[in-house]
Amino acid sequence: MWSSSVEANVSAASMEVAENNVLEALSQIIDLDFRIGIISCRFVKDMQIDEALGEVSFPLELTTPACLIKDVFEQRANEVVSMLSWIKSVKVTMSTQPARPVFAGELLRGLLTILNIVAVSSCKGGIGKSIVAVNLTYTLAGLGARVGIFDTNVHGPSLPTMVSPENRLLEMNPKKRTIIPTEYVRVKLVPFLDFAGQVV
């Protein structure tokens, strides 16, 4: 009994050392947006280690599915962990942190499933707000994010002149009392003026 207890304690201590080795290796990877390591960012979750087989697996849980360098994170994680002498196999799974609305109790029902809102605004007209908004949206869509544009430019709505969806009329959902967005190249669109020139 005493022997089994000692072996269990030694095994637990060895596992803790192995996990600390992996975490120390991963701490070299810096998130350039937050300017701190991915361990401090708490990107590494639920690490699984089989020291006898030299196997380690863990998800890297990023803040957004549209992270521009997620492939770099995955590659670097594989590289730094593989350099440990006892490692024979590394499995990194990329994932995204679930949405955690700060004001969930105060949000409108239609916003409860929205993870991020990016506002493009200016106090001056004609400087490229719509161009920035459209280019940013379609870039994020190209990276795999589910995105949409809600154009609230009352004085000069440009969205109807920048994209050409097949369905140019917006419709209402009478039961939910919401606007049904039109869609163009996998992006949901709701302009202040609909695509037929009518005020929404």
pLDDT at 67: 78
96 three-state secondary structure: strand
The predicted model gives 179-195 an average pLDDT of 80
132 three-state secondary structure: helix
Higher pLDDT among residues 103 and 118, named by residue: 118
The predicted-structure confidence for 27-57, as pLDDT tens digits, reads as follows 999 988 888 999 998 899 889 999 889 999 9
The predicted model gives 3-30 an average pLDDT of 74
User: Which contiguous run of DSSP H or E holds residue 18?
Assistant: helix 2-26
The predicted-structure confidence for 55-89, as pLDDT tens digits, reads as follows 999 999 988 777 778 899 999 999 999 999 999 99
Chain region(s) in the chain for CATH 3.30.300.130: 2-96
pLDDT at 77: 95
pLDDT at 85: 92
| pTM (global) more than 0.75 | no
pLDDT at 24: 95
- In sequence order, the 6+-apart residues with CB closer than 8 A to the CB of 116 are 64
pLDDT at 2: 38
pLDDT at 12: 59
> Contacts from 80-83 at CB under 8 Å and sequence distance 24+?
80/25, 80/26, 80/28, 80/29, 81/22, 81/25, 81/26, 81/56, 83/25
Q: Which CATH class is domain 2-96?
A: alpha beta
